[in-house]
Structure 1
Amino acid sequence: MAVALRRAGEEQIRRRRRRPFLFGDHLAATAVPPFNGGGVPYSSDPRPPGALWGRPGEGGGKGSVPLRLPGGSPLPLHRHPHHPGAGYHRRRLRQAPALLPRPLPLRLPSPFQEQVRILSLGGVRSSSSSTADGDAADESGSVSDGEPPRSPSHCAELERVCKVVEELFAADCSMEAVLDQCDVNLSGLLVVDVLERFRHAHKPAYRFFRWAGRRPNFSHDAETFTKMLFVLGRTRQFETMVAVMKEMGEKGFLSMEAFEVSIKAFASAREMKKAMGIFQLMEKHNFEAGLDTFNCLLGALAKAKLGREAHDLFDRMRGHYRPDLKTYTMLLAGWCKLKNLSEAARIWNEMIDEGFKPDIVAHNTMFEGLIRGQRRPEAIKLLELMKAKGPQPNTCTYTMLIRDLCKGGKMEHAMACFREMIDAGCVPDVATYTCLLIGFGNAKQMDMVGRLLKEMQEKGCPPDGQAYNALIKLMTNRKMPHDAARIYKRMIGLGIEPSIHTYNMMLKSFFRANDYENGCAVWEEMNRKGICPDDNSYTVLIGGLISHGRPEEAHRHLEEMISKGMKAPQIDYNKFAADFSRSGNPDVLHDLAQKISFSGKIGVSNMFMDWAERMKKQAS
């Protein structure tokens, strides 16, 4: 009998799963039309679009869910008689509950008529894990296109000064004495550009900054001090950074830009107490820490994937600042970065309850969060809802979906979405085309890559530096260094200036292919063009030199890297020490061990010490 009852129950569940859901007439106005998406697929979902039902047991009446409004009473949405019962959802434990904003009923007062709401998601598994995005490093603080162009004489003076700083600092000579004799025509713009050139190497940058401050007929201003703060924050030299800020306060050079640079630097390093200390410093120097500054801190925390810390800070400071739409958007971005969609949904609800109407930025943030959280069905439903109720999807919205489809290798669907984007009146930008270039490149459809590049030129949307970097990275990953070199030459021929990321990928491409000569040629060209190597540059170069059995050259660049204040790289130190020990010079390894110990790699330092002792015993 028990077996028969169990089978009858299973049969009833199967019937319920096959039964189509029908909207009631009273909800017809809020139904979301099915998304064809030009053929974009998504998994079948027996739940009603928009997740109108929420969690079992919620609400004041049986089989209903309250729809809360600011200042209003709950509106029950009655369960359709054919909708599967609550027990059905409890049994299907592996089915993730829907996460989708839905429009409020059309009979509501006009201020809320077009707003969208996300029902709370008690059943969504939150994930605080994050994966590397592979994004390029933040290049904020570099010379922007809006600044006045540099004259030829200024550029010549910049190259002369940078050459002196680079060569004499590396040789541990008296850089300041030589600069004194060079009769440098100092200006604020020159100091800013030199600091920008050495933004990855805080030691030579700081020494030059101090030398310039001691020169007669020159004194630092707010701009040069702020640039020095940027370099110190980027390299996480926080003690020196705080000292510079104190000096700026004494000289009256503190500004809102300086405070924001410091807040972002501390937040990116997860130094919450120091970031909050900036607010106290602002009050001390009679700066009003307004809502914009607070939003800047929340945005920096969100970017650093500190969504929980951002929300805790928001709760603590709720009485000091009246949040606006940007505040909630920053909080939303923080949870979406962590793929914690249940918290993101709660923030969305709170934003609606506070009377804010989410704009296209908030919608795109939620859309990207759904895609990052591998909730493409709900993301597509949100896209359809935006098309039906607004705000209308823009180029950024479609580009995020195209990027996700390309990442999954669904190029036919990506092109269908691309065509739909054009039909909707959204003009593709370079970022859109770059996603397709990478997708077709990974799919080894190089004919499509060529066609897209041609189309970009014809449509007046030529590839920029990031697009060419993406193509070079593609060739590097496919171990095609000479194709990467051809793309690099084409990039140069079109007048696009390579960035540090371009050179790093070219270095990696040649050293991966065991092409030592061309790898070194890239390094020399970097120096010739005045590009200051960063940590990744040195790591690739030193690793390549070690793999090619050139420990002496690797040692020279390793010492150079550490002398600039950079951390010792992650390389094969065992092979390096073993190869270097054949030269029979234990003192060199002993000195290197001491220098590496200062950079925090105690294990590597001890290993070098052991090799040095072995070499001494063998020599005796």
Structure 2
Amino acid sequence: MISRPFLFVKPLLSSLYYHQHRRCLCLLTTESSQAYQTPPSPVNEDHLLRVCTILFQQQDSPDFKLHSKLSSIDFNLTHEFFLQVCNKFPASWRPVYCFFQYTQQAPYSHFTHTCVSFNKMLDVFGKSRNIDLLWSAVQEMAKRGLVNDRTFIIVLKTLASARELKKCVEFFHLMNGCGCEYRVERLNKVVENLCKGKLVEEAKYVVLKMKDWIRPNGVTYGWLVKGFCDVGELIEASKVWNLMVDEGIEPEIEVFEKMMETLFKRNEYDEALKVFQMMRVNRMDDLGLSTYKLVIDWMCKMGKVVQAKAVFDEMRQRGIQADNSTLGSLVYGFLTRGRHAEAHRIVERIEKPEIRVYHGLIKGLIRSRRPSEATQVFREMIKRGIEPTMHTYIMLLQGHLGKRGRKGPDPLVNFESIFVGGLIKAGKSLEATKYVERTMKGSLEVPRFDYSKFLHYYSSEEGVVMFEEVGKKLRKAGFVDLADILQRYGEKMATRERRRNRAVES
């Protein structure tokens, strides 16, 4: 049974409106067959540097002079060499185009370009917004039979970014005339990439204008709905939804979930549950873990733990096994409502709890203003062989020091001496000044302290020493929990080498 176009969303849309005014289908070959089956031959870095230097310095010179300079270098022109030259000029079309022209001249006229090298060049032209050159190059590709789906994506993303919407449609017709026939699969890949690049309005324009030649399917409309949801345009997303259902296309479960998630994020709690109820009535057999997990997670975030438990029980009755993420959400929900016994019973029943369960415990305990217990969970998780992540440390630091930091009773280990002093040592004096002002002006609203950036500043060998020294001072002053957190970070997270080898201490 096809869901009617958002029976509840249309009145919702009017309310919302009131309140806020492109794979390798080559003509003759495919990209996979063009790609090298063996590793590319190494490029002579000295030759590459000399060639790129000439291309940069002589890019405005006459062709004969530039070609003469390049011919003076006895370099080995390979497919990989050409790609490396393009990489050196990722957004500068002239040197790349000059080198391409040179490769078409003697003594390299035997060199054969592939769809990979052409697409690389098109990408450079697109990033430099040279639409005329891009258009000319893609026509040359079509003549050589090298156009593939990647070509469509690069060209249409460039044209859409430049708001050349008529050219987007013209490109499809041009390529069809050159042998790349109209295909909905190719259109879907283009729409997917445009929507992921926040170009959903442009993607919708292309879909509607090409409707007479390429009939969109559920995948096409699904990407448009998800794209509009990502940019916060719920009204447009619902219009596309209604258009899809009017054409007799049943939305995929992922589209339902995206709409629900967007409604939850917009605090349209009741409307999100109406979507969920619609799915339960019309698509019950299609409901899986991902849908239940989304609903339970948001219910717990909003304090609706009783309703979340009811949905969880329904999921279990249908034989769907909960994952650690869902259980972690329930644990967090029970803790925030003061139901600690039930939260701990859930954890005790899990045979192999993962980090998401511990994060639910830590976050819930911190929300309940129990940072010491959260630190004990942190220690327990390490004993069980589960390595903390950056998010673990940030939650714990916020629990002990607050989101804006606080002044401790001991001047040697208070917030300013550790974090503000640490920022100055890391050369971030501007950030440190913001927090010094707090102590000078009591009425000044303090910005939220970015623990993530601070920990990033000290992800170095210097950080290992700094966190060790701070940990010693904190321990002497009686801040054992905070000392353990910072010292553990210094031992395991401070450098890339240490992060690669996170051997958990027994």
**Bucket of the pairwise TM-score, normalised by the shorter protein:** 0.5 to 0.7
Paired residues of 1:127 and 1:340 also in contact (CA < 8 A) = no
Indicate how the Cα distance of structure 1 residues 310 and 223 shifts in structure 2: closer, same or farther if over 3 A, else same: closer
Residue 6 of structure 2 corresponds to residue 118 of structure 1 = yes
Distance 1:386 1:195 in 2: 49
Partner residue, 1:483: 459
User: What secondary structure sits across from 2:75 in the alignment?
Assistant: coil
- CA contact under 8 A between 1:298 and 1:310: conserved in structure 2? yes
- Give, in whole Å, the separation in 1 of the partners of 2:133 and 2:381: 47
1:339 to 1:373, Cα distance in 2 relative to 1, 3 A:
farther
Aligned partners of 2:239 and 2:495: how far apart in 1?
Answer: 50
Instruction: Kindly provide the CA deviation profile for residues 560-608 of structure 1, in whole angstroms up to 9, marking residues without a partner as x.
Output: xxxxxxxxxxxxxxxxxxxxxxxxxxxxxxxxxxxxxxxxxxxxxxxxx
Alignment of 1:363-378 (within 5 A): 363-378=256-271
Secondary structure at 1:118 match in 2: coil
Equivalent in the alignment of 1:252: 145
Distance in 2 (CA, whole Å) between partners of 1:128 and 1:269 is 31
Return the letter of the residue paired with 1:239.
D
Would you say 1:323 and 2:216 are equivalent positions? yes
Q: 2: distance between equivalents of 1:235 and 1:127? A: 41
- Once the two structures are superposed, residues 75-133 of structure 1 have per-residue CA deviations (whole angstroms, 9 ceiling, x without a partner) of xxxxxxxxxxxxxxxxxxxxxxxxxxxxxxxxxxxxx1x75752122523249999xxx
Q: How does 1:6-155 map to 2 (within 5 A)?
A: 112=1, 115=3, 118-119=6-7, 120-121=10-11, 122-126=13-17, 151=39, 154-155=41-42
Q: 2:225 matched to 1:339?
A: no
Q: Is the 8 A contact 2:125 2:131 kept in 1?
A: yes
- For 1:295-444, list aligned pairs within 5 A: 295-380=188-273, 382-383=275-276, 386=279, 389-395=284-290, 398=293, 425=321
CA shift digits 1:185-244 (9 cap, x unpaired): 333244335434643444444444444443524121222112211222233222221121
| 1:192 maps to 2:83 | yes
Distance of 1:452 and 1:360 partners within structure 2: 38
| CA-CA distance at 1:150 after TM superposition | 7.3
More helix by share: 2
**Alpha-carbon distance in 1 for matches of 2:244, 2:168:** 25
CA contact (8 A) 1:194 1:205 kept: yes
The answer (yes or no) to whether the contact 2:143–2:178 under 8 Å persists in 1 is no
C-alpha change, 1:219 and 1:315, in structure 2 (3 Å) is closer
Question: Which residue of structure 1 aligns with residue 49 of structure 2?
Answer: 163
Is the 1:364–1:396 Cα contact (8 Å) retained in structure 2? Answer: yes
What's the CA shift for 1:272?
A: 1.0
Provide TM-score, normalisation by structure 2: 0.52
CA distance in 2, matches of 1:270, 1:373: 29
What whole-Å deviation, never above 9, does each CA across 1:293-344 have from its counterpart, x for those lacking one? Answer: 3334444553454545544554444433333111221332343234332343
Distance 1:128 1:412, change over 3 A: closer
* Native 8 Å contact 1:268 1:303 kept in 2: no
Distance 2:251 2:86 in 1: 40
CA root-mean-square deviation: 5.5
* Distance 1:208-1:453 versus aligned 2 partners, 3 A rule: farther
Q: Distance in 1 between matches of 2:94 and 2:187?
A: 31
Aligned length: 352
1:289 to 175, 182, 202: 182
Written as runs of structure 1 = structure 2, the 5 A alignment for 1:579-618 is none
- Inter-CA distance 310–372: structure 2 relative to 1 (3 Å threshold): farther
Read off the aligned partner of 1:327 and give its amino acid letter.
T
In the alignment, the residues of structure 2 paired with residue 315 and residue 340 of structure 1 have an alpha-carbon distance, to the nearest angstrom, of 18
Unpaired runs of 5+ residues, structure 2, are 22-30, 60-64, 330-354, 393-448, 464-492, 502-506
The gaps in structure 1 that reach 5 residues or longer are: 1-111, 131-142, 468-472, 496-620
| 8 A Cα contact 1:260 1:296, kept in partner | yes
Q: Distance in 1 between matches of 2:144 and 2:245?
A: 45
2:123 counterpart (221, 226, 230): 230
Distance in 2 (alpha carbons) for counterparts of 1:297 and 1:463: 36
The verdict on how the C-alpha distance between 1:270 and 1:474 changes in structure 2, with shifts beyond 3 A counting, is farther
Q: What percentage of residue pairs aligned between the two structures are identical? A: 22
Closer, same or farther in 2 for the Cα pair 1:309/1:228, shift >3 Å?
closer
